[in-house]
Amino acid sequence: MTGVSLLGVQAAAVQAVAVTGYTTGYTTGYTVLLPAPVTVPPAGHVLSTPWRAVVGATGARVGRALLTLDPVTAGDGRDLGVVAPGKRPTTSITVRPPDPRVPTRALTVPQWVTAPDGETFPWSDDLHVMVRQDGRPVVAAPPLPAVGYVPAQLPGGTVSGSRVTLPDLLGDLTLTVVSGRTLDALTELPFAHGDVRLRAAPMPVGLHVLGPDGDEQLAVAGPVRGRVSHDLAPALARHLAAAVRTEPGGTAPVTVRSDVVGEAHVRLDVQDVVIERALDGRLTVGCDGTATTLPRPGVAPGRAPTRTRADLTVTHHGAALHPASDPVPAVDAGLGGPTVRDEPVTRRVAAATLADARLVRVGVVGWPSAGTDLSLVVLGRTVTATGLVGPVGRSTPQVVWFDLGDAVAVDRPLEVTLRATRGTFAWLAAPEPAVRLAVEAPAAGAHVTVGGLTVTLTGPETHVPGVSLAGTDGWDVTTDQLVTVALSSAVMEFAP
Phi, psi (deg, nearest 5) at residue 183? -60, -30
Sheet containing 372-378: order of strands: 345-349, 414-422, 372-378, 381-388
What average pLDDT does the segment 478-486 reach?
A: 98
pLDDT of residue 12: 35
Query: Residue 292: which residues within 8 A CB-CB, separation 6 or more?
Result: 285, 286, 476, 477
Residue 33's pLDDT band (cuts 50, 70, 90) = low
Lowest pLDDT segment from 315-319, 395-399, 443-447, 450-454: 395-399
Is the pLDDT assigned to residue 11 strictly greater than 50?
A: no
User: Each residue of 279-296: pLDDT tens digit?
Assistant: 999 999 999 999 999 999
User: 298: left (phi > 0), else alpha (psi -120 to 50), else beta?
Assistant: left
Q: What is the pLDDT of residue 35?
A: 84
> According to the model, what pLDDT value does residue 471 have?
94
Q: Which fold has domain 327-433?
A: Jelly Rolls (2.60.120)
Q: How many CB atoms lie within 10 A of CB 449?
A: 14
Q: Model confidence over 40-50: pLDDT tens digits?
A: 999 999 999 99
- Answer yes or no: is pLDDT of 5 > 70: no
Extract the runs of DSSP E, i.e. beta strands, from 72-150: 78-84, 87-90, 93-95, 104-108, 113-114, 127-133, 136-141
pLDDT of 390 reads 79
Q: Which region among 4-18, 172-186, 269-283 has the lowest average model confidence (pLDDT)? A: 4-18
Predicted pLDDT at 30: 46
> Are the CB atoms for 475 and 395 separated by under 8 Å?
no
Whether cis (ω within 30° of 0) applies to the bond prior to 100 is no
Q: What integer pLDDT is reported at residue 423 of this predicted model?
A: 94
Q: What's the pLDDT tens digit per position in 237-252?
A: 999 999 999 999 999 9
**Fold match, 279-319+444-494 / 327-433:** yes
Q: What is the mean pLDDT of residues 161-171?
A: 95
**pLDDT of 233 strictly over 60:** yes
pLDDT band per the 50, 70, 90 thresholds, residue 392: low
Q: What gap in Å lies between CA 418 and CA 432, rounded to an integer?
A: 13
The whole-number pLDDT of residue 313 equals 99
Looking at residue 333, what is its pLDDT? 57
How much is the mean pLDDT over the chain?
91
- Spatial neighbors of 241 by CB under 8 A, at least 6 apart, are 59, 60, 61
User: Quick one: pLDDT at residue 329?
Assistant: 85
pLDDT computed for residue 212 by the predictor: 97
Among 65-69, 401-405, 426-430, where is mean pLDDT lowest?
A: 426-430
- Which of the pair, 336 or 179, is modelled with greater confidence? 179
pTM over 0.85: no
Q: Mean pLDDT throughout 118-125?
A: 94
CATH architecture of the domain formed by 279-319+444-494 = Sandwich (2.60)
Q: Hey, where are the domains in the chain? A: 29-71+205-277, 78-200, 279-319+444-494, 327-433
pLDDT at 433 over 50: yes
pLDDT score of 417: 96
- Report, at the CATH architecture level, how domain 29-71+205-277 is classified: Sandwich (2.60)
Count Cβ neighbours within 10 Å for each residue of 160-178 and write b for 16 or more, e otherwise: eebbbbbebbbeebbbbbb
- Residue pair 169/138 in contact (Cβ under 8 Å)? The answer is yes
